[in-house]
Copies of this chain bind each other. A is one copy, B any other.
Amino acid sequence: MIIEIDFSSDEALYLQLRNQIILGIATAQYREGDSLPSVRQLAETIGINMHTVNKAYTVLKQEGYVKVDRRKGAVIALDIDRMRALNDVRRELQVLLAKSSCKNITKAEIHQLIDEIYDEYNNGGLG
């Protein structure tokens, strides 16, 4: 999977990494049981420090996207804490919708935007 890091972004490297991997899982570029690259390997590929990758993996583990196997490294393994996830999404959406509303983006446009994003990734994932 191709991971793109924006070094000029204000978003932390390890969070960019985490988000890209979550996106990769959602679009089925990574599937349950797949191994992620080793921390050292991915760090070298991207050109960042090993610990930064390790931090991304640690966060992914804590948030229930991967489990760590001594043999296979970080392995995609989804832990579905549905209530927690729904609460998180709700809180994020609340702020997002407020911002949108202030910028005259309508509810209908949000719905449409969501459908568009789902359509974009439409062979493989996000569903």
Contact = CB atoms under 8 A, between A and B. Distances in A.
A71 interface: no
Contact of A126 (B64, B85, B98, B104): B98
How many copies the complex holds: the figure is 2
Nearest to A27: B98
Interface string A44-81: 00000000000000000000110000000000001011
Nearest to A15: B95
A40 interface: no
> Main secondary structure on chain A at its contact with chain B?
helix
Given A82-B104, A107-B118, A117-B90, A22 B95 contact: yes
5 contacts: A22-B99, A80-B104, A85-B100, A85-B103, A90-B113
Interface of A: 19, 22-23, 25-27, 64-65, 78, 80-82, 85-86, 88-90, 92-107, 109-111, 113-115, 117-118, 125-127
Given A25-B98, A89-B96, 6 more contacts: A22-B98, A26-B98, A78-B103, A86-B109, A89-B103, A89-B113
